[in-house]
Amino acid sequence: MAGLMRSILPSFTRLTFRIAALLVLLGAPVHAAEPVRILAFGDSLTAGLGLAEQDTLPTRLADALNKMGRPVIMINGGVSGDTTADGVSRLDWALADKPQIMILALGANDMLRGLDPKTTRANLEAIIRKAKAADVEIVLAGMLSPPNLGAEYKAAFDAIYPEMAKAHNLLFMPFLLQDVAQDSDLNQADGIHPNGNGVAIIVRNLLPYVTQAMDRVEGAS
């Protein structure tokens, strides 16, 4: 019996190796990757105001990543109407979910209310510092002010996001609503919140930044 086993084992080992190699060539993972925990931390654009759950930005983004073979656990941390100050006040609660990545998408309501850009900057700074202290990789999703708020306000507000991204070495999507803003076919009746088609474009534009963040997280583990 012992002799028989010694003769069979080498063949079995070679067969196992060949199967594993074939799986790699076919693109099938030999070992399933651990899901990455992602917190989408924002306002109504994140929460999905006016949309069915399956059409919200966090859900669509999670679906796209999972289809790419990048498994995630997506946490919808969007609250409609939230300003950056509201984000600061609930950050500890959000970080209690132990995200590895945060998509930081706050500031639109600050701008719509004409709040002082210095206050918005200070609040985002506080959020970023606390998240980084918790070892969370951040993707900063920028926002832009419309011209009707005045050139001075627009210049001050628009400068916040690129300057924060540079100062903290963050992955940076310059404008969350790129290719979607002011397009009636891609927004709901209010002209502000994207519809399902608009969300699909946001996801497409956001994906490269999120996958880079996932690479950083997985490379550090």
Positive or negative: CA dihedral 77, 216, 201, 84:
positive
Question: Within 13 A of 89's CA, how many CA atoms are on the CB side?
Answer: 6
Report yes or no: 76 and 112 within 8 Å, Cβ to Cβ: no
Strands 72-78 and 36-42: parallel
Whether 168 is a known active-site residue: answer: no
Whether 193 is a known active-site residue: answer: yes
Task: Pull the structure tokens for residue 195.
Answer: 């519809």
Whether 190 is a known active-site residue: answer: yes
Cα 221 from Cα 219, distance rounded (Å)? 6
Residue from 43, 82, 158, 193 carrying the catalytic annotation:
193
Residue from 44, 110, 145, 158 carrying the catalytic annotation:
44
Task: Collapse the DSSP code of 73 into the 3-class scheme (helix H, G, I; strand E, B; otherwise coil) and give the result.
Answer: strand
Residue located via tokens 């959020």? 127
Residue from 7, 11, 31, 190 carrying the catalytic annotation:
190
* Residues whose CB falls within 8 Å of the CB of residue 192, separated by 6 or more in sequence, listed in order: none
Residues taking part in catalysis: 44, 190, 193
